[in-house]
Amino acid sequence: MILGSTGSIGVQALEIVEANPDKFRVIALAAGSSNLQLLADQAKRFSVPVVGTTGDRDTLTRMLGNTQVIDGAKSASDIAAIACDIVLNGISGSIGLGPTLAALSVGNKVALANKESLVAGGDLVMAFGRDRIIPVDSEHSALYQCFLSGKAAEVKQVILTASGGPFRDRIDFTDITVADALNHPTWSMGPVVTINSATLMNKGLEIIEAHYLFDLPYSKISAVIHPQSVVHSMVEFIDGSTIAQASPPSMKGPIAYAISGANRIAKATAPVDWNTKQSWEFMPIDGEKFPAVELARRCGELGGGLPAIFNAANEVAVDAFINGLIPFTKIVDVVDATVQKLGGNSPITIGSLSDVSAIEDDARVLANQLVQERK
Ligand code: MG
């Protein structure tokens, strides 16, 4: 089943399903309210028996006829708890955590594109066991594949690659527009992750994601700029050997690998064309230009509720930027100030989904106040 079916990941997953009708059958879809027509079209096209939406039930039912419709704020979690071979969670934002936990709690495997599930509730998610989650995030899919080359005890460090986003070479950040920030040089993704790539918040979130997914201390997780986005990440082993996973930037590869249960689907994505000249660059991240990466690492190391606060504040700040309320440079500023103010009171451990929700609510209220102050 596919959660977030009308988003970038969901749409590409359905293209993979369509190209491989012998391998996949979609038993349920869930999506928000923003594109009910597309959700209805998907359900009809793939003869899906159950559909969840946070949008209007009657409207969707009218479009669908005989299909069962589940509505409401918890609809994605209800859908996720239907037994199936694998749940693809392509929801954007920490609202994806509930459905991830719902899927795991009934024994489903999760192909996880929703990195916020791990950032906001990593301990809760990983308590279900490491073998139940296959990452869809391209960097983590790469690491997952590279890890197959050695034993966990032989890993020296992992190196996440970052394209550097549209502002890698930009000196002056003061008058960046929303259109500038949405213009990603190598990847086509949803708006929030695209803005997160421009601030490098995305890389910060992915460092925390890697910590939980692979049970690595933060000292063993680094990140490097790689503008071509062909090497998706690397694992360096203790003998000095580095294993990298490479393919031209497309989410089809990692999505297909994950939804097939870590198997390789023929022609999932175009390979590197070795008959044309390749030039791959790697360079360190400028921490002064992109403070989000170190801020995320600090929040990750302190642990407890801090990564959830970090992520919730960022969701508010990105939304404020997209809506023209704050300039680009204030995104990290709002997140930093929220973390500073709430960090001292944050719990050491997160025991439940409601703990996460309570922390996030506090972070959102404060981040919204800080946005108003910075208008
Ligand atoms: Mg990624």
What is the whole-number distance in angstroms between the Cα of residue 176 and the centre of ligand 1? Answer: 23
What is the whole-number distance in angstroms between the Cα of residue 137 and the centre of ligand 1? Answer: 5
What is the whole-number distance in angstroms between the Cα of residue 26 and the centre of ligand 1? Answer: 25
324 token code pair: 């023209």
What is the whole-number distance in angstroms between the Cα of residue 50 and the centre of ligand 1? Answer: 30
Residue 243 parent element (H or E): strand 242-246
Domains and CATH numbers, the chain: 2-135 (3.40.50.720), 138-294 (no CATH), 303-375 (1.10.1740.10)
What is the whole-number distance in angstroms between the Cα of residue 372 and the centre of ligand 1? Answer: 30
Residue with tokens 């801020």: 295
pLDDT digits (tens, 9 = 90+) for 159-213: 999 999 899 988 899 889 999 999 888 877 788 889 999 999 999 999 999 999 9
What is the whole-number distance in angstroms between the Cα of residue 353 and the centre of ligand 1? Answer: 24
What is the whole-number distance in angstroms between the Cα of residue 169 and the centre of ligand 1? Answer: 20
What is the whole-number distance in angstroms between the Cα of residue 373 and the centre of ligand 1? Answer: 32
What is the whole-number distance in angstroms between the Cα of residue 281 and the centre of ligand 1? Answer: 18
CB neighbours of 294 closer than 8 A, spacing ≥ 6? Answer: 204, 287
Cα separation, 348 vs 5, whole angstroms: 35
What is the whole-number distance in angstroms between the Cα of residue 320 and the centre of ligand 1? Answer: 22
Residue with tokens 């440079």: 329
Cα separation, 323 vs 365, whole angstroms: 17
Q: What are phi and psi of 158, to 5 degrees?
A: -110, 150
What is the whole-number distance in angstroms between the Cα of residue 138 and the centre of ligand 1? Answer: 5
pLDDT digits (tens, 9 = 90+) for 93-137: 999 999 999 999 999 999 999 999 999 999 999 999 989 999 999
Do residues 128 and 149 touch, judged by C-beta distance below 8 A? no
pLDDT digits (tens, 9 = 90+) for 241-295: 999 999 999 999 999 999 999 999 999 999 999 999 999 999 999 999 999 999 9
Cα separation, 146 vs 31, whole angstroms: 32
Instruction: Write the DSSP assignment of 250-309 as a string of letters.
Output: -THHHHHHHHTTS-PPTTSSPPP-TTS------B---TTT-THHHHHHHHHHH-TTHHHH
Cα 34 to Cα 4, 8, 37, 41, 314: the distances in Å are 11, 13, 9, 14, 22
Q: What is the CA radius of gyration of the chain?
A: 20
